[in-house]
Amino acid sequence: MIAAASAGQVSKAAMDINVSQSVITTAIKSLEEIVGTSLFERHSSGITLTYEGNLFLEHAQHIIDSVEEAVRIPRRIKDDVKGSINLAVSYTVAGYFLPKPLAQFSRAFPNVKINLHEADRSTIEEGLIASGFDLAVLLTSNIINHEELSHVTLMRSRRRLWVNTHHKFLKQQSVTLQDISEEPYIMLTIDEASNTAQSYWNKTPYKPETLFRTSSVEAVRSMVANGMGICILSDMVYRPWSLEGRRVEVIEVSEKIPTMDVGLAWSNNAVHNEAAKAFIEFIHLSIGPEQPSVSNI
């Protein structure tokens, strides 16, 4: 329609966009049937827009311009955004959350250099406040210094009980923390996981019968799969198979177990460069919208 209006002739419009005249004629006829009115006046020298046609063309052109701008924006961002980001990540985030979105960001913004720093939560908080780190991706529900740091939670990963494929709990209709306290327990310690576990166990008269403490998620997976014990861990780190090829099953716990929350954090005094702003926006779009933060896990 736009080509025909610009050319003033169906034959010239067809040549301009390299299609047959019948394609143009059929398209105009179909469009007029949809809107319920004539968009062009036909005369011996060609075609001209009716009043309704002019109104339609104005809106159509706005749509085309918006689409073209939407296409240009990512290209412009990709080309224009330059700089570097000192990005801190906690251990669990580095292994089970960040690799995919980080790779996607690097492909979308090839002129941005990301300097990665793996550290524990306290070191990350100190680094953000001292401006050693621009941003951090970490377990936001573990953050302690809420006075000097801002954060946004991007995802919440529920925690469930891990057992091996022959465990008696799989035959029960429900499993409670009391049930779990009577079984050997494998305690994960990485990213303050044991502190988190203690926080919800302390709300009960029970405590886990800890057989082994480890900083390795894979060690927990293998020990659970081989029937050495059980463990409550988040779905983010869950994989159904151990390194030996044995299966791990998951069960909901009757009591409310807090989620493991992952997100972005930065200093309240931070002034973000264009690269950091691009990273924040990209993570929001690729992972999800901002969600309200919750208390420590």
pLDDT tens per residue, range 101-135:
999 899 889 999 999 999 999 999 999 999 999 99
pLDDT tens per residue, range 244-294:
999 999 999 999 999 999 999 999 999 999 999 999 988 888 775 444 333
Same domain flag for 47 and 174: no
Worst-scoring range by mean pLDDT, 8-12, 172-176, 188-192?
8-12
Domain boundary among 65, 80, 95: 80
Has residue 294 been placed in a domain?
A: no
Structure confidence at residue 32 (pLDDT): 86
Same domain flag for 241 and 198: yes
Same domain flag for 87 and 113: yes
Whether this model's pTM surpasses 0.85: no
Same domain flag for 183 and 244: yes
Has residue 91 been placed in a domain?
A: yes
- What is the span of the domain harbouring residue 119? 83-156+260-287
Structure confidence at residue 254 (pLDDT): 96
Same domain flag for 145 and 278: yes
pLDDT tens per residue, range 209-255:
999 999 999 999 999 999 999 999 999 999 999 999 999 999 999 99
| Strand bridging mode 149-157 / 184-188 | unpaired
Has residue 265 been placed in a domain?
A: yes
Q: Which CATH number belongs to the domain containing residue 7 in this structure?
A: 1.10.10.10
Domain boundary among 62, 80, 98: 80
Same domain flag for 30 and 88: no
Between the two ends of the chain, the Cα-to-Cα distance in Å is: 59
pLDDT tens per residue, range 158-169:
999 999 999 999
Share of the chain above pLDDT 90, in %: 63
Q: How confident is the model at residue 42 (pLDDT cuts 50, 70, 90)?
A: confident
Same domain flag for 9 and 29: yes
How many domains in the chain?
3
Same domain flag for 52 and 88: no
**In the predicted model, what is the mean pLDDT of the chain?**
88
Has residue 296 been placed in a domain?
A: no
* Res 90 pLDDT > 50: yes
Mean pLDDT value across residues 28-39: 88
Same domain flag for 137 and 276: yes
Same domain flag for 175 and 235: yes
Please, what's the b/e burial string for 12-48 (b: 16 or more CB within 10 A of its CB; e: otherwise)?
A: ebbeeeeeeeeebeeebeebbeeeeeebbeeeeebbe
Same domain flag for 114 and 147: yes
Taking CA atoms, 90 is separated from 53, 112, 148, 155, 259, in Å, by 59, 21, 19, 15, 17
Mean pLDDT value across residues 40-45: 82
Has residue 295 been placed in a domain?
A: no
C-alpha span between 130 and 149 (Å, rounded): 11
Has residue 292 been placed in a domain?
A: no
* Res 74 pLDDT > 90: no
Tokens of 142: 């573990």
Has residue 233 been placed in a domain?
A: yes
Domain boundary among 34, 64, 80: 80
Same domain flag for 134 and 273: yes
Q: Which CATH number belongs to the domain containing residue 267 in this structure?
A: 3.40.190.10
177 CB-near residues (< 8 Å, 6+ apart) = 200, 201, 204, 206, 253, 254, 255
Has residue 297 been placed in a domain?
A: no
